[in-house]
């Protein structure tokens, strides 16, 4: 892979600022990164054709990590809030390559889902919005008539996947490590462990985060965003990107709206003006409200 050589060179360049920092732990991390990056070229030579998308995606992620590492090591310390100008936020070239690689793999996933007739939902939402409970409640209803699966994206644990398994789904855990979102390649790898021919419906629970998951198409048919009334009534205007691509939005924990003083109508009208195509459904796992409507909106009912 062409990404290997520039990585070695760039890590070499990082030695200077690291020496200035005199930070043993950081030096150790960069040292080991440097060693590993040397063997990347050798590894890349031996990649078989079928695994090239994996390597490409991994290379993009490494590139991006390295970009952030460089910035952190060589950039000036910032004080006070920094406002990013348009086009300045990220290394656009790297970001675009990464997203393009992701789109290609998402296409492969989508074709696989279509081939086996599996209905798929990418479930996104903040930590604590109730994604897992809502999936569990849907699985309980759906598993009476369908074979249901769930891929659970989480930084480190399998707590959520274990919970949904108890509701009757075949679950596979994806641990993302430090990544704060799922990407199409992680999903593709998880699919290697799942017999799609025996599956009717697949939920993919994304990592709890309202920022970047929306940028990474996983190849799912529908995108469900879960927002809890406990998060306040400005969530839609605060996270426009997330809601722009949503097919369905569950306004969850609706039984608690009054005690939290949340204006549910505002969430709905914000969504309506931002993305009129999206269907909003008021839900509560505790009372069961809106579950049928939600399944209908996801075309799963």
Among 81-89, 128-136, 140-148, 205-213, the segment contacting Zn ion (CB under 5 A) = 205-213
Q: Is 122 a residue that touches Mg ion (CB under 5 A)? A: no
How long is the chain?
A: 301
- Report if residue 131 touches Mg ion, rule: CB under 5 A: yes
User: Does residue 212 bind Zn ion (CB under 5 A)?
Assistant: yes
Structural element, H or E, at residue 225: strand 222-228
Stretch that binds Mg ion, among 28-36, 67-75, 153-161, 256-264 (CB under 5 A): 153-161
Q: How far is the CB of 205 from Mg ion (least distance, A)?
A: 6
Answer for which of 160, 217, 231, 270 binds Mg ion (CB under 5 A) is 160
* Structure tokens, 129: 């919005």
Contact between 165 and Mg ion (CB under 5 A)?
no
Backbone angles phi, psi at 280, to 5 degrees: -95, 135
Concatenating the DSSP letter of every residue in 32-65 gives: HHHHHHHHHHHHHHT--GGGHHHHHHHHHHHHHH
181 touching Zn ion, by CB under 5 A: yes
CB nearer Zn ion, residue 213 or residue 290: 213
Pairwise CA distance, residues 218 & 202, whole Å: 12
Residue 160 contact among Zn ion, Mg ion, none, beta carbon within 5 to 8 Å by kind: Mg ion
DSSP 116: T
In the chain, which ranges are continuous DSSP H helix? 4-13, 15-21, 24-45, 52-74, 92-115, 131-142, 159-166, 184-191, 235-238, 240-244, 257-260, 264-274, 291-297
Find the part of the chain contacting Zn ion (CB under 5 A) among 138-146, 164-172, 179-187, 196-204. Answer: 179-187
Residue from 26, 180, 196, 274 touching Zn ion (CB under 5 A): that is: 180
Question: Residues touching Mg ion: how many (CB under 5 A)?
Answer: 3
Taking CB under 5 A as the criterion, the residue among 37, 102, 109, 132 binding Mg ion is 132
CA distances from 215 to 246, 255, 261, 270 (A): 12, 31, 31, 21
Q: State in angstroms the smallest separation of the CB of 162 from Mg ion.
A: 11
Residues that bind Mg ion (CB under 5 A): 131-132, 160
């Amino acid at each position: 892979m062409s990404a290997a050589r520039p990585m070695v060179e760039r890590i070499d360049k990082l030695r200077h600022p690291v020496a200035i920092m005199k930070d043993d732990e950081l030096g150790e991390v960069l040292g080991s990164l440097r060693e590993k990056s040397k063997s990347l070229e050798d590894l890349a030579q031996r990649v078989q054709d079928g695994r090239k998308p994996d390597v490409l995606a991994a290379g993009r992620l490494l590139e991006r990590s390295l970009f952030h590492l460089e910035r952190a090591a060589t950039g000036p310390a910032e004080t006070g809030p920094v406002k990013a100008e348009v086009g300045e936020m990220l290394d656009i070239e790297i970001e675009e390559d990464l997203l393009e690689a992701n789109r290609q793999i998402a296409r492969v996933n989508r074709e696989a889902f279509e081939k086996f007739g599996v209905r798929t939902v990418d479930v996104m939402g903040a930590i604590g919005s109730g994604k897992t409970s809502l999936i569990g409640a849907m699985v309980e209803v759906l598993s009476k008539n369908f074979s249901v699966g769930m891929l659970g994206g989480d930084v480190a644990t399998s707590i959520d996947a274990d919970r949904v398994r108890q509701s009757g789904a075949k679950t596979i855990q994806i641990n993302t490590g430090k990544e704060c979102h799922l990407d199409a390649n992680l999903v593709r790898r998880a699919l290697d462990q799942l017999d799609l021919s025996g599956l009717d419906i697949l939920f993919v629970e994304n990592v709890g985060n309202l920022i970047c998951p929306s940028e990474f198409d996983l190849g799912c048919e529908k995108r469900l965003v879960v927002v809890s009334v406990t998060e306040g009534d400005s969530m839609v205007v605060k996270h426009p990107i997330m809601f722009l691509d949503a097919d369905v939005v569950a306004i969850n924990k609706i039984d608690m709206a009054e005690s939290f003083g949340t204006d549910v109508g505002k969430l709905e009208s914000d969504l309506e003006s931002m993305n009129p195509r999206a269907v909003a459904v008021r839900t509560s796992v505790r009372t069961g409200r809106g579950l049928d409507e939600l399944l209908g909106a996801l075309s799963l009912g």
